[in-house]
A and B are shown apart, each in its own frame.
Chain A
Amino acid sequence: MKVAIGLSLVGALVGEFVSAQHGLGYVIMAAQGAFDTPRVFVAVLLLSLMGTLLFRMIEAVERRVIPWHVSQRGVRH
């Protein structure tokens, strides 16, 4: 799940690169075409934050729902 949540973000972004009218992928492409470097980096930073937040969210859900799982061994509850 933790791996998949990051990959899902990548998938959505690549989809937006190919064809989208909104979204961060669209913003990156539009900013690239307009040589708007600050906007590109803001979008990339937001994506990084989203990725980190989603990863932590899944981690928190795993801690509560499957505390017995091997991935949770050694994790303080």
Chain B
Amino acid sequence: MNRMFGPSRRSLLAGAAALAMPCVAKARAVADKVTLRLDFTSSGLHSPFYVGIQRGWFEKAGIDLSMEDGNGSTTTVQLVGAGLFDLGLNSLGPLTVARAKGLPVISVAGFVRKGELGFLVPEESGWKTPKDLIGKKIVYSVASQEGPFVRYFLQQNGVAEDQVELINVDGPSRYAVYFTMQADSLLTTVPGVMPIAAVKRPSVPILFSDFGLNLPGLGMGTRTDTLEKKKDALRRFVSVVCGAWTYILDGHEQEGAQAVFANRPNGAFTVAMMAEQIRLFKPFFFTDATKERPVGMQSEVDWTMTLKSMADARIIPLDTNPSDYFTNDCIDTAIIDKVAGGTY
């Protein structure tokens, strides 16, 4: 009798399933959290993140992005290596050194694939090669990414350490020292500083990469165990960022700069400066080995050359395997093409 008048087992199960359905659907709709530590405070190099937010690309990719400003690539690599962030936007030079010293980090995207490190020298100086720096004062920061390489680079180009005056100051102070004429040259990431140098002290670069030392530039890194645990989310996020870079570099530099400014109006750079930063960085996005490849994708040829230079400088061991340092597993060309083409 009970079976005739009470709810049947089948109907109870159906009811429970119906109640559970919205919960299941909701759980699927919850975006994956991705935490990102930037290299510095806002600049044109952060434009893909802000364009991605404004255009809703991360949301569509199911990514809930949380970003934090940085104070240098070295610190970013340390924090990502300590597991405090999923990803870091940093120069890949410090990441390589960290990996060689045992920190379990790996590069998942390389944006600035031609080395952008170099000396800024006054425009009117006429100095064009490292040898022109003999007898000059060079300001740099020993704790920054260029710290481990400066002496090796000078030596490789025929400049002994005692032939130049290296002035070490903390990272942010080096710009003030150079712009106030207290040093003849500034060692820095050239395209990022050129727009502000144009205003403060018009300068021209002497690039490491033009004189035999091509260090990897800006990219994104993660811990190897984070990559295993969150591979799908990281792949979607990294691919959207690569697509956003492709979109911005394809004539949307102004939109990129405006997106950064709209979100971070109190930053150090104006929209015009950030747009100029992006334009100046553009030639550094491609090397001979990567000119036909999507932005972000890394080349074994480039990495082999980089690791050899670093090993020659005795910064990393000789027996290094490039695949320990980078992976293209987070690059999804289908997502990149859709984002870059505006159909995502």
**Are B74 and A33 interface neighbours, CB within 8 A?**
yes
| B287 at the binding interface (Cβ < 8 Å) | no
Complex contacts, A37 vs chain B, CB 8 Å: 101
Tell whether, in the assembled complex, residue B101 and residue A19 are in contact, meaning their CB atoms are under 8 Å apart.
Answer: no
Query: Using a CB-CB cutoff of 8 Å, which residues 27-52 of chain A contact chain B?
Result: 29-30, 32-37
Q: Closest chain B residue to A30 by CB distance?
A: B142
A34-B151 Cα distance, complex, nearest whole Å: 13
Bound together, the chains give a CA A44 to CA B167 distance in angstroms of: 23
Contact B101–A35 (Cβ < 8 Å):
yes
User: Which residues of A1-21 have CB atoms within 8 Å of chain B's CB atoms?
Assistant: 17-21
The residue on A at minimum CB distance from B103 is A35
Docked complex Cα distance between A12 and B317 (Å): 34
Instruction: Mark out the residues of chain B between 77 and 104 whose CB falls within 8 Å of any chain A CB in the assembled complex.
Output: 77-78, 94, 97-98, 100-101, 103
**CB neighbours of B173 from chain A (8 A):** 18-19
Q: A21, A26, A32: which contacts B74 (Cβ < 8 A)?
A: A32
Query: Of A19, A21, A35, which is within 8 A of B98 by CB?
Result: A35
Asked whether A33 lies within 8 Å of B168 as measured between CB atoms, the reply is: no
Highest count of chain B CB atoms <10 Å: which of A32, A34, A37: A34
Known: A18-B173, A29-B142. A34 touches B147 (CB 8 A): yes
Name the A residues within 8 Å of B143 (CB-CB). 29-30, 32-33
* Residues of chain B within 8 A of A29, CB atoms compared: 142-143, 147, 168
Closest to B148 in A: A34
Verify if B331 is at the interface (C-beta below 8 Å from A). no
- Interface SS of chain A: helix, strand, loop or mixed? helix
Q: Are B170 and A17 in contact (CB under 8 A)?
A: yes
CA distance A36 to B100 in the complex (A): 10
Q: How far is B100's CA from A75's CA once the two chains are assembled, in angstroms? A: 53
The interface residues of chain A lying within 8 Å CB-to-CB of B100 are 35
Give, as a whole number of angstroms, the nearest-CB distance from B102 to chain A.
8
Residues of A within 8 A of B67 (CB): none
Interchain nearest-CB distance for A21 vs B (Å):
6
- Given the complex of chains A and B, what is the CA–CA distance between A20 and B74 in angstroms? 19
| B166 located at the interface, meaning its Cβ lies under 8 Å from any Cβ of chain A in the complex | yes
A26–B169 alpha-carbon span in the complex (Å): 10
Known contacts A19-B168, A21-B166: does B147 contact A30 (CB below 8 Å)?
Answer: yes
Contacts of B145 in A (CB 8 A): 33
Contact check: which of B148, B168, B315 meets A20 at CB < 8 Å? B168
Is B129 part of the contact surface with A, judged by Cβ < 8 Å?
Answer: no
Chain B residues with CB below 8 A from A33, complex form: 74, 94, 141-145, 147-148
- Whole-angstrom distance between the Cβ of B141 and the nearest chain A Cβ: 8
Give the residues in chain A near B141, CB-CB below 8 Å: 33
Binding site for A on B (CB under 8 A): 74, 77-78, 94, 97-98, 100-101, 103, 141-145, 147-148, 166-170, 173, 315
* 18 additional A-B residue pairs with CB within 8 Å, beyond A17-B170, A30-B147, A35-B97: A18-B173, A19-B173, A20-B168, A21-B166, A21-B167, A21-B168, A29-B142, A29-B143, A30-B142, A32-B143, A33-B94, A33-B141, A33-B142, A33-B144, A33-B148, A34-B101, A35-B98, A37-B101
9 closest A-B pairs by beta carbon, nearest first, are A33-B147, A33-B143, A35-B101, A29-B143, A19-B169, A30-B142, A34-B148, A35-B98, A18-B170
Q: Which residues of A contact B (CB under 8 A)?
A: 17-21, 26, 29-30, 32-37
